[in-house]
Each structure stands twice: as C-alpha cells, then as structure tokens.
A and B are shown apart, each in its own frame.
Chain A
Amino acid sequence: MKIAIEELASCSGCTIAILDLHEALLDVLGKAEIVYAPVIMDVKEPPEGIDLAFVTGAVRNEENKERLRKIRKRAKTVVALGTCACYGGISGLSMLFNKEDMFNYVFRGVETVRPDGVIPKDVPPFLYRAFAVGDIEKVDYYITGCPPKEMYLKKILPALVSGEPLALSKKSVCSECDRVMGAHEHWQLKRRYEGVPDRDHCLLGQGYLCLGAVTFGRCGASCPHSNVPCHGCNGPSLDILREPCRDIYNMMIRRIADLTDKPEAEIEKQIYDVAHTFYPFTIGSLIMEDKGISKIRDLIKERNV
C-alpha cells in the first residue's frame, strides 16, 4: 500500500492531524509506505502507482490545479482530507473581495506599508476563485473537519489501508452535544462575545449563533463541550448536502424559528455578518454556492466574467 499526501492551498493543519495519530501512526506505517509527503520527506514529485492519496487544502491558483490533476492521475484512490479540500475552507473567504482590492490593501494599505508599495507581478496569478478539490477532480472519499479529529482518523486511516468497510456516524454536531434545551421565551440573538454561556443548556437557545444543527459531526461537539458555539468547521450536515432546498443559512433561520416561535423575518433582522458567521468554511464550495437559496452568491465579489 503506497500512500501520498499532497498539500494544496492549506495551513498544513491536516498534515499535522495525520501526525496527531501519534504512536498509532507507526502501526499504519507498518502496513503502508509513505512514498510522497513533502512536509516530512525529500521526495520531490509524486511517483506513479500511488494506492491512496490524501489531498489537503483548496485550489486557489493554477499550480494547485496542476498538482491536483497530477496526483489524481497517479493515484488509484483520492481522499479529500479536511474542510478546505471538501468545501474550500477558510481560504474561500478571499472571494469577499476582488484580487486587486486585496493586493492593494496588503501591499499599499495596511499600517506598516507605504502607499506606493510594490505590488508583486513576477509571481503566479490566482485562479478567478477558490475551489474545493471535488469541484475540479473526481474524489473517492471525503473526510471533513478543520482538521479531521484524531479519534476518527484513528479509525478511518487503518480502514482505508486495509480496505475494510467502516461504519461511522453521519449525524450533526448537535447529535454529539450533551446540552439540553432550556427556556427561550425572550430569545434575542447575542454576539458570541456577550455574557458567559450557561454550560448545561443549548447555546442556540441561549441566543448564541451555534451552527451545530447544520454542521456535520465527528468532532465530539468539542466546541459546545468547551462552552464555545459551533462555527461550522466540519462543513454542512448531511441533510443540507442532500437537499437542494436546504442551505446553512435558511436551515439555521428555520431552526431558530422552530425553537422560539419567532417569525423567520424577525430573526433575519437580528442576523449579522453572514459571511464570517454562516459561511466561513463553505463559501468556496460550488456545491454550496449552486443551491438556489444560498447566500454565497450575494457575498462573493470575484466572478469569472
């Protein structure tokens, strides 16, 4: 079994997530050989005959695209590892502004540069937008998570190596959360910094925008468990992926309406910063953008015109 790890536009966190198998990684290495993983070894190009390739990161420039094409060609099985590879991830937020505005701000706008700063030209150009790996090439398996969690990778990796089927939960973050619903008569949306959440009751019921209901699980609801609202880093829940009429935004509004008996229109008036609170991990996904009801189309500035 020959394994490769390819990093595209990413933070390297998914590669670290594989290292975070710790000593269990040695067991995997006993049954499989890593033939290409530039972060840890000096093999410069993916060889032919890869059995299992993990691709992490989004596709943001021409080279990412070329790398992805090459690893797809050379690997029997391609796994999109992590939320960037699956849905574009946080990098997709770059589409909130166009490239020119971004370059102008970074090289000429921030507090420590000069207004006549050089905007690099002798560098590779961006693609017109960010893409998830599956928007560009065929993907055999998706493993979501920013990054995927150790307790699941410990089951998934040996199963992928041995080819044994593996049944895993397909439920949302809420299904893994230990909170109970509390009173919510005078429900008002809070900013996530306001007050101190009560540890026992549903964060959404307390007025915090917790995306647990619309987010795929397999994280043990680690943020709600730590008294922090879910911000959706595992990507959308299965019902949203399956149903064209379901989207992160509208399902959250509907959920709050069901919970509070407030009309949806009234809830929507309280919503703030839709890009960074609803879509920070999925804005770069064509699957999510292509839903007729998605708010992503209204948010992105970079278009292929």
Chain B
Amino acid sequence: MTELRITPVTRLEGHAQVRITLNSGNEVERAHFNVMELRGFEKFLIGAAVEEAPRITPRICGICPTSHHLASVKAVDAILGAEPPETARKLRELLNHAQYIHSHAIHFFMLAAPDFLVGHDAPAADRSVIGIAKKDPGLAKKAIEVRKLGQRITEAVGGKPIHPSNAVPGGMSRPLDETARGNLLAMAKGGLAIAKEGWELARTMMDGTDLTLGTVETGFLAMTKEKKYSPYEGTVETMGKDRSPLGSFTGADYTKHITEFSEDWSYLKFTKLANGTFYRVGPQARLNICSSMGTPIADAALKEYRGKFGETVQAPLACNLARYVEFLASCERVVELLEDPAITGTNIRAPVAGVKAARGVGIIEAPRGTLIHDYMVNEKGFIERCNLIVATCQNNYAIDRSVEAVAKPLVKDGKLPEAAANRIEMVIRSYDPCISCATHAIGRRAWPIEIVRSGDGAGKGETLRPHEGDDLLC
C-alpha cells in the first residue's frame, strides 16, 4: 500500500488536501478533495451580541474580510430594521469593489499567473510571484501598485485594509472626505490604466494551455440586478448546465434553494440545489449568468471572453480570465463611484434603536462567489442560530470532480511527477478556493495530495512523508 502526497499544495489561500485512491492496476480509482479543519464560527457566534458579528466574521478570512463584513452587516441591518442612506450604500459598494481589486489582483498576478507567465512545467523554484519579479520587474511593480489601490480604498473607507470595521448597523461610521476622495480617485485612474494594460497580457496568457483540463459540467448560481452584473446587491439567480433557469431568490428563501451535505472525509460541506443540481459560484458563474458588466471596458472584455469560450463556460481554467473581466469592472466602477458627488455625503448612518426582526440574512457576491450570512436572534439581539454559506463550499463539488478529472490521465504507474502534480494544483487554483472561508476554518497546513491504494480494506495504508527538501514524493 502506498500513499503519495504533495504537501502542501501551494499558491493557495488556506489549506486542504486531495486524496487519490489507486486501483490494483495502479490507475486512479477515485480522487477527492479533503479539507482538514473546522473553525466553527457558526457555533461560536451563538450568544454573541448581534452587532459584534460584523467585527468578528471578517476574521473568517484575511483575503476577503470585506465580503464577510458586508454580508454580516446587511444581516444585522435587517435585524435592526435599518435602511442605510444612499451615501452609505455607495461607500459599501466601493468597499466591495476594493475587495475585488485586492483579491483578484492577488489571485491573478501572484497565484495563478506564474503558471502561465513563467510556465506550469517550469522548475518549482521559479514558479512564483518572486519568479515573475525576477523575470519582469515592471510587471511585478504594476501588480503591487494595482492591488495597493484596493487596500488603500478599503483603509480609507473601511477603517483598516484588512478586517475593516466601518460598516456599522444602519450605514457607515465615517464619511469619506474630499481630500481622501481626490487621492483615491487619482490612484483609481492609475489602477484602471494598469488593469487595461494587464488585459493585453491576460487575454492571450492561456493560449498555449490545454483549457479543457479538469472540465466538469455543473449548473451555476450568482446574484445579479435585473440580470446585470451586481456583486453588492440584487437577486440570486440559478441555472442548470444547459442554461435552464432553476429559480431565483432573495434573503431567507435561500434555504428553499440550497441544501448542504457532508462526507466522512472532509470538514468542508458540499452544496446542491433543491432539485439535486450541483452548481458553481464565482467569477465564471457570474459571467455565465449576467447579461452585461455595466462598464464599457469590462463589457468589451466580456464580449471577447464569450467569443473565446462561449455563452456558458464550464472549463475551470477559463475562470482565470473571467476573474480578470471582473477585475476590469471593479477598477472602472471605483472610478465611477469616486467621481460620484454623493460619495462624500455626510448622511451615512441611520440611527437604530433595537431588534425589529428575529432573523436577518445578508447576501453578497464575494470575490470567490455568493456569500450568505444568516442570523437568528432573541428579543435582546443575542444570536441564537447562525448559518454561513460561503463560496468554496458551493464550489466544493466541482473542485472535487475536477481534481479527479485531471488526476486520472496524469497518474502513471501509480506515480505523479512534480509537473503533473502542479497541473492538478493549477486547476484547483483556477477556482481560487479559499479554505479559510470554506470551513469558516482555521486553515490546516495546506493541501497535500495523497494517493491511497484501494483494495485490502483495513486502514488507509502506509503514509510516506516527503523527505527533507523533496517537493514531492512519489
């Protein structure tokens, strides 16, 4: 009995594991995606004063803390009967786009691009953002500059660049002043210029890559506003793999559409739609579902993306480009928002008095997909029940199946060469899974890939840990 592991899978946010079981002919029998830890936010929020949730839940994820902050505060708004004023709504939308800029820039330039710009079969040591910095220092500087735009907006509007605090029940805690607006707008225009330039790189970046790698067919789920791209607010739409509409919902009705289940081998739950359809969320799902992006540069990019991959895109690697289309949209939209005179308004917070509803559901599109925070409270506003549906849970099934699809042809004679292992990682990466979010989870180390020979039942077999300095053990 043999176990192969790649530990950890790298250039990923958070930690998990893939387990590949071989049959007696040394071929892949099945492959699964395992997540090894659970943090239990849903449980330990019970008893909390509900207004603490928007402060506590950003700590689910240091990469998309704003998404949790905003989903949470929307849920608390509903409980306290608060209707944020227009400026507050726009500031929150600005925060949400700043989150996309930072998160998508990290993923595109720092995690995914090394596979395509340095090469997925290049030596492991060169395949990183540091490798890109050596190969093309100008590009690395631009990547840093544009991500900084996202973090600077988050700091100015949200109070802090990581784990923002300023979205409060009823609106925002602090207005954006004219000086800050001017500075951010200048940065945003610079950021948009970098993003446009980057598109020239992105659009052809994957031309030499087999884009069918890890393809699975699923339905999709995403929030839109009258079918237009709208990551901050709207109606959640669902569709089957053939584009057939499978219903739409807002608020607490999510429970009529989404069901979760678990498996013995992973702390990460799976989801499917009420009719049993497995689905995906995230950039690819949003682009499959929306009619347009609502900004000119992103709309042109969407047209090109659809010309390349079609109307309904199933290939996971295409998600790298879908993410870039969204990145363009966010860069354009922050310029628009910062040019909007209402953004510096001072009517930013509707005072709230007490509990008006026993339940509040906040839904937002996080960079990785639809995020739902659902709290139930007692009459004094202390949480009694809590449910969190995050993007990577909803993508869990597709990732799991993609891993098997890639692994099957790559495992030869029970061995998995390093470059082949990186192909599995590359497909996993295209989903941009966030394991911290997924398990509301303290990340486990990483994403080992483990191969277990099936057959003689008892036990999982011998585990061969990597030797010192070995990237991979076969």
Contacts and interface: CB of A to CB of B under 8 A. Distances in A.
Interface string B145-173: 10110010000000111110110111001
A158 interface: no
B130 A25 contact: no
Contacts of B12: 38-39
A113 B34 CA distance: 19
11 contacts: A9-B37, A12-B436, A17-B162, A26-B140, A38-B8, A106-B42, A112-B387, A123-B267, A124-B444, A192-B49, A231-B52
A266 interface: no
A103 to B, nearest CB: 7
A93 B144 contact: no
A96 interface: yes
A146 interface: yes
Contacts of A67: 445
Contacts of A147: 62, 162-163
Contact-size category for A = 35 or more
- Tell me which of B38, B48, B267, B271 has the highest count of chain A C-beta atoms within 10 A of its own C-beta: B38
Given A12-B62, A91-B39, A123-B34, A118 B262 contact: yes
A54 B385 CA distance: 37
Interface of B: 6-8, 10-15, 34, 36-40, 42-49, 51-52, 55-56, 59-63, 65, 76, 80, 106, 110-111, 124-125, 127-130, 133, 140-141, 144-145, 147-148, 151, 159-163, 165-166, 168-170, 173-174, 254-255, 258-267, 269, 271, 349, 351-353, 374, 381-382, 385-387, 389, 422, 436, 442-446, 466, 468-472
B442 A10 contact: yes
B236 to A, nearest CB: 14
Given A29-B130, A121-B264, A193-B51, A11 B62 contact: yes
Cβ-closest 3 pairs across A and B:
A13-B62, A9-B442, A41-B128
Contacts of B265: 120, 122-123
A20 B161 contact: yes
Contacts of B442: 8-10, 57-58, 60-61, 64, 91
Contacts, number: 288
A222 B13 contact: no
B49 A44 contact: no
Nearest to A148: B162
Contacts of A233: 163
Interface string A220-253: 0011011110010100000000000000000000
Contacts of B382: 272-273
Contacts of A123: 34, 36-37, 265-267
Given A9-B443, A11-B443, 11 more contacts: A9-B444, A11-B65, A14-B62, A20-B151, A25-B144, A26-B140, A42-B11, A63-B445, A110-B385, A124-B36, A273-B48
The secondary-structure label for the interface of chain A is loop
B31 to A, nearest CB: 15
A254 to B, nearest CB: 22
A17 B59 CA distance: 13
A196 to B, nearest CB: 6
Contacts of B349: 196
Nearest to B34: A123
Given A94-B40, A276-B52, A41 B261 contact: no
Interface in A72-131: 89-91, 93-94, 96-97, 101-103, 105-107, 110-114, 117-124
B472 A44 contact: yes
Interface string A1-31: 0000001111111111101101101100100
A27 B140 CA distance: 13
A111 B387 contact: yes
Contacts of A205: none
B101 to A, nearest CB: 13
Nearest to B60: A11
Contact of B471 (A9, A42, A57): A42
B61 A12 contact: yes
Given A44-B8, A44-B466, A146-B163, A194 B352 contact: yes
Nearest to A147: B162
A20 B162 contact: yes
A101 B43 contact: yes
